Structure 1
Amino acid sequence: MDKKKVLIITYYWPPAGGPGVQRWLKFVKYLPEFDVHPVVYIPENPNYPVIDESLKEEVTDAATIIKHPIKEPYRWASMFSKKSVKTISKGIISDYKKQNIVEKLMLFIRGNFFIPDARVGWVKPSAAFLQDYIQKEQIEVIITTGPPHSVHLIGLNLKEKLGVKWLADFRDPWTTIGYHKQLKLTKASKKKHKTLEKAVLNKADQLIVTSFTTKKEFEQITKQPIDVITNGYDNEKHTSFEMDSKFTMSHIGSLLSKRNPEVLWSVLKDLVAQNSDFSNDFQLNFIGSVSDEVLQSIKNNSLSNYINNVGYVKHNEAVKYQKKSQILLLIEIDSEETKCIIPGKLFEYMISNRPIIALGPKESDVEKIITETNTGKYFYYDDYESLKKAILEHYKGYKTNSLKTQPIGLQKYHRKALTESLSKLL
């Protein structure tokens, strides 16, 4: 029996690094096992903020990859300020008071001249190219995944012209994502975002979201079917490592300006001052981009000497850091908008057998998953005493070599199980 051809339209694909790549890289890996032949459409000349060449090895030979050129505004913007472009394209936006005139101008242009995002110039040429390809290859189903949400406009265009079945996958929400407030959108720009969002949510045949909160949000805008398929974990290649000799607390991924838990730094400052053994054993690992504001907060709490600021590493290296760390930190911005954010790294954290300490808003989807799976402890930004107590308990476990987790029900988050759920929607 011939496998069903499904066209997947995505901006992020190896050698792009970061969490946005993993979701569809893994779906594409497992889809052939469910009688689906994935055809992946990507930009020919993208401007990825983070590169991880090792991810190329994970692209399955069973997929067909097609490419088309893209005009990247971030390239010409780099002529004015390479640093600002790099941080903005990674999602790191510094506090408004600390932005220079170039950064303020670039954010205004990004927010109001490129709607929904800086890749909007790829929409028309892609739709024209894919219209011919879909008819020639007799493709019946297309999938778009965002961000960038301009990718969904390609799906909208193809739906209107060809009537092809269309699934729109949202790895993040659209108009309620936290950084929208920092883009200095005019009233007209906000309205345009809302109009485009509503069009996509109502014209797509099926919506897929990564969180339960986003599903509830979208249900207020559309009556189209919405399924939650979270991110997940995959079987990683076995790598040899030794557990850290220090009492390491490691954060993997970006620490944005507002992802800055002062309560945690305050607790650690006091533990270091009050307990000489803790002070000798403690180390704070940052694996990924860290904003200047976060580093300044840590300096203000006299913790700079305890930092091991590694920076971005390849995915397989990040996995090794996860497995050998004593504690894994998961930090989210304390706001209503971030309750729906479930970072992809959470699922890798959960199978690393290391306790998770998570901080974020009350009643978040992350809190629900961590509690259900018994993989760590979740704290709010005002939980000084309980956070301090938990870190001390973990420190005692470290000293007695008994620090580990007892997870429950992780199998449903395996990438293959999640792909099976996706295949049923196709």
Structure 2
Amino acid sequence: MSTNKVLIITYYWPPAGGPGVQRWLKFVKYLPDFGVAPIVYIPENPSYPLLDEKLLSDVSDKTIILRNKIFEPYALASFLSKNKTKKLGAGIITQKKKQSFIEKAMLWIRGNIFIPDARVFWVKPSVKYLKKYIQENNIETIITTGPPHSLHLIGLELKKQIKVNWIADFRDPWTTIGYHKELKLSKWARAKHKALEKEVLTTCDTILVTSPTTKLEFEMLTSQPIEVITNGYDVEKIERKPLDENFTLAHIGSFLSERNPKILWGSLSELIHENEAFANHFKLKLIGAVSREVLQSISEYNLDNFVQNLGYVSHEEALIHQRSSQVLLLIEIDSEDTKCIIPGKLFEYMVSERPILAIGPKNSDFENIIKQTNTGVFYQYNEKNELKSQILSYFSQYLDNNLKVNAVGLQKYSRKNLTKQLAMTISKFNIKKQN
């Protein structure tokens, strides 16, 4: 099998933690199995909001890693407020309540000065460095992945300057992502974002997206080929622990302010008061960063005594909790803009052998996946009675020691199968060249 060299331009890479690193870490892991040799280009001095050193063990020592310095405005601004800067860097910018003057100013700068984002200063030095590397090493295909979407501008400039195949991977949408509305964009800045988005979408050779809804959205802007390659799950060697003795509902990952499911807190509060057995067995596990507003709502519904707030843990430890919790919570913001969002943790949830209790907007892409794979249930934000009944049903199954799922069709979402799909996309360029 002949080997194709592919240059992958990404910001997030171990020891970065959080969901942004997983997609390309796993693609790089499996690409060599399909005749593709990945070369990964990353910042030398990044400002990662979350760290997970254990992910370094997932990087093959055969992977070629290129590093180049990046100027990080967030690092420069940290003297103002390390905590606020870290939140902005992590994308946690949806906390509308009680914003300080500094927070408002930083949001305005983030949206109107750093276009498309604060990593835009990495574009010029990266183009200069990579142009030389690509030509000297006969690389025919490059892949940029965003967010941060400024990395697509690296691909855009390289495409203009040299002969290279360019795949643009969108882990999230660009101008329609929910938090864009919170960036206090001027009319000029909004137009600039849209113009850059369209230029990227019409100049690259192939577009990768993670959801069908994003594909439909982009098809309105470009005639370039678009492929849906979702995120997925890997075969992890994780210690198998017994199921929690309590009836645990676990939320794993960032719990942002706008993902505040008051219908869930209300349902749980009512069940605690109405059902003594439920009150004696129930626990709410929160694993990951949780916003102040979410914790405040939990307290307002008198649930504090039932909460285990474990904070951020390593990816490995998160997987252990997924497999030992009784029920897994998946919450998405109730908005048209989030119908296209398929949380990366969904796929790891699906192979945990635990039922998923999901809440989100109607006709969400992840609703369809949950139903197709028979891995859980989905409710809208106006279906409180149905949600409450489902929790009680799960609790009854728990008491009978019969709480389980019978998942179907999961194999298509394995990281290896998804990487095979990616490798086939890359190979299309070689087929065109041969013809």
Do both share a fold (TM > 0.5)?
yes
SS at match of 2:31: helix
Equivalent residue for 1:47?
A: 47
Deviation of 1:83 (Å): 1.1
Question: Is residue 138 of structure 1 aligned with residue 148 of structure 2?
Answer: no
SS at match of 2:311: coil
Question: Is residue 421 of structure 1 aligned with residue 425 of structure 2?
Answer: no
Structure 2 Cα separation of the partners of residues 97 and 424 of structure 1: 47
Structure 1 Cα separation of the partners of residues 82 and 61 of structure 2: 36
Equivalent residue for 2:283?
A: 283
User: Is the 8 Å Cα contact of residues 37 and 62 (structure 1) preserved in structure 2?
Assistant: no
- Read off the aligned partner of 2:183 and give its amino acid letter: L
Superposed, 1:20-419 pairs within 5 Å as 20-419=20-419
Deviation of 1:97 (Å): 3.8
SS at match of 1:353: coil
User: Is the 8 Å Cα contact of residues 326 and 354 (structure 1) preserved in structure 2?
Assistant: yes
Instruction: Spell out, residue by residue over 1:117-160, the C-alpha distance to the aligned partner (whole angstroms, 9 max, x if none).
Output: 01000000000000000000000000000000000000000000
Distance of aligned partners of 1:154 and 1:360 in 2 relative to their CA distance in 1, 3 Å threshold: same
Structure 2 Cα separation of the partners of residues 305 and 358 of structure 1: 23
Instruction: Spell out, residue by residue over 1:7-42, the C-alpha distance to the aligned partner (whole angstroms, 9 max, x if none).
Output: 000000000001110100000010001111000000
Structure 2 Cα separation of the partners of residues 342 and 2 of structure 1: 34
- Read off the aligned partner of 1:207 and give its amino acid letter: I
User: Is the 8 Å Cα contact of residues 211 and 341 (structure 2) preserved in structure 1?
Assistant: yes
- Read off the aligned partner of 1:37 and give its amino acid letter: A
Structure 2 Cα separation of the partners of residues 326 and 58 of structure 1: 28
- Read off the aligned partner of 1:105 and give its amino acid letter: A
Structure 2 Cα separation of the partners of residues 186 and 337 of structure 1: 20
Deviation of 1:2 (Å): 4.5
Identical pairs, percent: 60
- What's the TM-score once normalised by structure 1's chain length? 0.99
- Read off the aligned partner of 2:5 and give its amino acid letter: K
- What's the TM-score once normalised by structure 2's chain length? 0.97
Structure 1 Cα separation of the partners of residues 18 and 97 of structure 2: 28
Distance of aligned partners of 1:244 and 1:173 in 2 relative to their CA distance in 1, 3 Å threshold: same
Structure 2 Cα separation of the partners of residues 240 and 31 of structure 1: 28
- Read off the aligned partner of 2:55 and give its amino acid letter: L
User: Is the 8 Å Cα contact of residues 4 and 36 (structure 1) preserved in structure 2?
Assistant: yes
* Misfit runs of 4+, over 6 Å: none
Instruction: Spell out, residue by residue over 1:170-203, the C-alpha distance to the aligned partner (whole angstroms, 9 max, x if none).
Output: 0000000000001101110000000000000000
Q: Aligned residue pairs: how many?
A: 426
Q: Which deviates the most, 82-91 or 4-13?
A: 82-91
Structure 2 Cα separation of the partners of residues 147 and 124 of structure 1: 18
Unmatched segments (≥5 aa) in structure 2 = 427-435
- Read off the aligned partner of 1:386 and give its amino acid letter: E
Deviation of 1:93 (Å): 2.3
Structure 2 Cα separation of the partners of residues 6 and 60 of structure 1: 16
